[in-house]
Amino acid sequence: MKSKRLLLVVIFLLAGLLFPSGARARGPFEDRTTAGIHSFHRVPMTDGTLLATDVYLPEGEGPWPVVLERSLYSRNQGMNGFINDGYAAVIQDVRGFGTSGGDSHVFYADGWRPGLTDGADTVAWIKAQPWCNGKIATSGTSALAMTQMLLAPATKDICAQYINKVPANFYFDVIYLGGVFRKNLTEGWLTALGQVPTIAFYRDLPRYEEYWTYYNTVAQAGNITAPGVFAGGWFDIFLQGTLDGFVARETGGGPGARGRNYLVMEWGTHGRDTTRDYKYKANRHDFSDSDLRRRFFEYHLKGNTSALDGIAKVNYYILGDDTDPNAPGNEWRTADTWPPYPVRETPLYLGTDGLLAANPAPDGGAFLEFTFDPNDPYPTWGGANLLPNLVSGPYDQRKHSTSRTDLLKFATAPLDAPLEILGKVKARLFVSSDAPDTDFTAKLVDIYPNGDGREIIVLDNIRRVKTRQGFDREAPPLQGPDEIVELEIDLWSTAWVFNRGHRIGLHVSSSNYPRFEVNANTGADHPVEGGEMRVARNRVHCSAAYPSALLLPMPQK
């Protein structure tokens, strides 16, 4: 019963996040709405599959520029905003979902896969309609943003996109982070979609292989001719995908796309800011990505050449101390690029005394060790989560960090001056284990001064040891605790200021459950119900010979 209630909450959450209020009942053919005229169509794809499609036309004489949304969830969402702005609006159920025909397999037919180009087929159909003036844009959030990303390389007939909170590479940004199955999000989301068989399908593809290349939009940037507005958040589940999508198109896009994109990075999560441990400032709402979308479409669809005047290419909110009113950060900033400045990757070296320091410890066999029991994994608490069984956002890590023994904690001395980071954070660890394979996690935290003491999560991620030679192959099993290997953990990106008197912290463990599936420590890709779950003794080495370090992106202003 509990799992059924959770499933209903997930469906409600996705509907509330992706489908704004104002939806209307519609007849099967044509009827008049508060904003104009609606008609229903079954649009044929190249292979003959028919996709359920609603068209809304403004009052008056056309033809009009068109905004398209393609959804896995429902066509019952309000399109009045677009219609009132003078656009024809088209909303479509993707293949196999809603009332569309065909087999349902998430995003399988939405991109450039040979013979399955539903997005491009739909755009071609729209362009041929008498009510279309030839100017077509796309819009949408989350899954509706992913359908846009997959569509973009497959057609030259769109002129603008609004892409809100999106993965750029489905393998690395959604399903397997650091080579580890993203259990809570993947299972919860696909179950809510009625796609339980797809969970097993993805679990059978743990390495980066040909199947996943059809979901890698970064590699397709040169084939994209439409510019986009990319909008994301620093605790969003697709944080890095939004940044990667913008950078790829801005620097490597095709004609019409390169150099013409906009980025908005706000403060929050994927629509669920549940934090009670960190108080956002009221000015976080001072910039509106929806207003930028309106201006962007005015420019590209209506030819209003002044619509984007005064808008910077990059608008980002930088976070910081939430208690000191004079602390730097907690404000919107602008830039021409991302990152805003050249970045120097600056190491803070891990010491066996728990310090993060500018220099590595002297040579020697120094290491720290902890026991990782997959039957008692380290719990997820805050960070980039979506589903309602996990809190999301900047939570205080002391809920678990003060009592768990399967955790290594490192911190700098209190800072003499504020320290700002802008860009991608990494952890380079030299590790060993008595298990043939295991995982390591890294978590960046902002440690408040004594009297407060909060350990606020900034970023975190995970890496599987057997992916150390690449995500498309499996490295040999570890041969015991004397075999030391280098492992890089990509924590994704942030814009954050550590205030004077704060300490920069790093937490290292081997699990983050249930966000990520636990490693059975046997060498298997996934734990098997009732199968072996091995306890591992895991080490992080800290010396000049094995200089484990936290790598921070220091802007060179």
CA angle 165, 170, 171 (to 5 degrees): 135
Distance (Å, rounded) from C-alpha 476 to C-alpha 466?
A: 7
Query: Quick check: is 81 in a domain?
Result: yes
- The stretch 258-283 carries a mean pLDDT of 90
User: Of 552, 546, 549, which is closest to residue 362 (Cα–Cα)?
Assistant: 546
Could you list the residue range(s) of the whole structural domain that residue 366 is in? 343-555
Residue 465 placed within a domain: yes
Give the burial string for 243-271 (b: 16+ CB within 10 Å, else e): bbbbbbbbeebbebbbebbbbbbbbbbbb
Domain boundary among 104, 139, 174: 139
Pairing status of strand 88-93 against strand 64-71? parallel
Alpha carbons 467 and 556: distance in angstroms, whole number = 32
pLDDT value of position 79: 81
Comparison of pLDDT for 22 and 135, the residue scoring more: 135
Q: What percentage of residues in the chain have a pLDDT greater than 70?
A: 93
Average pLDDT over residues 437-452: 98
Q: Please say if the pLDDT value at position 55 is more than 80.
A: yes
Tell me: pLDDT of 284 over 80. yes
Q: Minimum mean pLDDT among 73-82, 94-103, 161-170, 411-420: which range?
A: 73-82
Q: Is residue 335, in this structure, part of any structural domain at all?
A: no
Predicted pLDDT at 12 = 40
pLDDT digits (tens, 9 = 90+) for 341-393: 999 999 999 999 999 999 998 877 899 999 999 999 999 999 999 999 999 99
What is the tens place of the pLDDT at every residue in 461-518?
Answer: 999 999 999 999 999 999 999 999 999 999 999 999 999 999 999 999 999 999 999 9
8 Å CB contact between 299 and 311:
no
Specify the long-range contacts of residues 79-86, CB closer than 8 Å, at least 24 apart. 79/35, 79/54, 80/22, 80/33, 80/34, 80/35, 82/56, 82/139, 83/33, 83/35, 83/36, 83/56, 83/57, 83/58, 84/35, 84/58, 85/294, 85/297, 86/58, 86/302
CA angle 194, 197, 203 (to 5 degrees): 125
309 assigned to some structural domain: no
Cβ-based neighbour number of residue 128 at 10 Å: 8
Strand 419-433 and strand 485-498: pairing?
Answer: antiparallel
pLDDT of residue 296: 99
Residue 93 to residue 75: CA distance in whole angstroms: 6
- Work out how many domains the chain is built from and give that number: 2
For 312-326, the pLDDT digits (tens) are 999 999 999 999 999
Residue 10 in this model has a pLDDT that exceeds 80:
no
The residue behind tokens 């290419």 is 313
Give pLDDT, residue 274.
Answer: 66
Kindly report, residue by residue over 212-265, the tens digit of the pLDDT: 999 999 999 999 999 999 999 999 999 999 999 999 999 999 999 999 999 999
159 in any annotated domain: no
Cα-Cα-Cα-Cα torsion 165, 170, 173, 176, nearest 10 degrees, comes to 150
Question: Which tokens sit at 318?
Answer: 């930088």
- What is d(CA 187, CA 482) in angstroms, rounded to the nearest whole number? 37
Does the pLDDT of residue 150 top 60, yes or no?
A: yes
Residue 74 lies in a domain: yes
Q: CATH number of the domain at 113, please.
A: 3.40.50.1820
Question: What was the pLDDT predicted at 35?
Answer: 52
- Whether 61 is covered by a domain: the verdict is yes
Domain boundary among 97, 124, 139: 139
Q: Is 216 exposed, middle or buried (0-12, 13-18, 19+ CB in 10 A)?
A: middle
Instruction: Give me the pLDDT at residue 21, please.
Output: 28
Report the DSSP pairing between strands 262-266 and 180-181. unpaired
Q: Where are the beta strands (DSSP E) in 50-152?
A: 50-58, 64-71, 88-93, 132-141
Q: Is 332 contained in some domain?
A: no
pTM of the model: 0.94
The mean pLDDT of the chain is 93
User: Domain end: 88, 107, 139, which one?
Assistant: 139
Q: What is the domain-level CATH number for residue 489? A: 2.60.120.260
The rounded radius of gyration (Å) of the Cα atoms in the chain is 24
Output the CA torsion sign for 491, 316, 274, 277. positive
